[in-house]
Amino acid sequence: MSPTFGFNKGVDDIEEPILLPEEWYDMEICDEPRLSPNKALFDLVGQDATLEETETALVADPKAGINLVLNMEVDSSDDAFNGRKMKVWLPYPSPIDAERFDHRGQRLYDAKMQRCVELTEAFGGDVSENENGETEITLTKGLRGQCYVIQQRSQSGEELVNSIDTFQGFKGYGD
């Protein structure tokens, strides 16, 4: 005899997910930030690529790149929204980006670096120069700031999902 499992409500009573309305939300970085290949780079070289293979792929395909990945958690007084996990993928500059320009005429390296610095400053991270005069950023788990959340179609196009709009910039926590 097969086991039977019960639920305390009918199938017609299942509630649909509630999307966050589009607006600014306080967020907390809930895991240590990391660098990760974007999909185009991963498709070219895989997970175990050497540095040389990665650099070759970055030159060969302008869409290939590296992302600064931040896992965020919504900090809200509304229990329906509080604790929701979201992810930010910020394009991280590579040396080849110094030779390329975006649609506004800004070097890609500078545009990507600027967005990373803006997030770091808004979330209270550290932006400093090392002994060589190069900028370094430090982001850690527990830092807080604000991100603008939008509603958009999922990658499959079948449903609406929330995501963080990095082009809106970032704000300090509680601003």
Convert the pLDDT of each residue in 93-131 to its tens digit.
988 899 989 899 999 999 999 999 999 999 999 999 999
Residue 5 lies in a domain: no
Beta strands in 75-157 (DSSP E): 85-92, 126-129, 135-138, 144-153
Residue 92 lies in a domain: yes
Residue 3 lies in a domain: no
Place 53 in a pLDDT band, splitting at 50, 70 and 90.
Answer: confident
Convert the pLDDT of each residue in 13-37 to its tens digit.
999 889 999 999 999 999 999 998 8
Instruction: Extract the tokens encoding 16.
Output: 């649909």
Instruction: Note the pTM of the prediction, 2 decimals.
Output: 0.85
CA dihedral sign, ordered 14, 83, 71, 113: positive
Return d(Cα 29, Cα 129) in angstroms, integer.
Answer: 23
Domain of residue 129 covers 18-172
Q: How many domains does the chain have?
A: 1
